Amino acid sequence: MTEIRKRSVIVAGHKTSVSLEAPFWEEIAAIARSRGQSIGALVSEIDGRREGNLSSALRLFVLDELRRRVGSGES
């Protein structure tokens, strides 16, 4: 079973906690690095266009990014 990690992030000027499985946090960190962003900046970007809860939006974002990479042949 995958460990759930809770992180505090600032979204729209407010501190909030988000719980995600460790592999999702790892991928969010990698995506943020590849974009030259902090994790907080990336989470805020995702939050600004989400529907539903933030944890689900983050998981769907990671899934979309991975699908995009596979479709474009990136690794």
Q: What is the pLDDT of residues 3-41, one digit of tens each?
A: 899 999 988 888 999 999 999 999 999 999 999 999 999
Is the pTM higher than 0.85? The answer reads yes
Residue 12 pLDDT? 81
The angle, 0 to 180 degrees and rounded to 10, between the axes of the packed helices 54-72 and 39-47 is: 100
Q: Can you give the residue ranges of every domain in the chain?
A: 4-72
Q: Does residue 75 register a pLDDT over 70?
A: no
Q: For the chain, what is the largest distance between any 2 Cα atoms, rounded to a whole number of angstroms? A: 37
**4-72 maps to which CATH number?**
1.10.1220.10
- Amino acid code (one letter) for 44: S
The rounded distance, in Å, linking the Cα atoms of 53 and 71 is: 27
The rounded distance, in Å, linking the Cα atoms of 14 and 68 is: 31
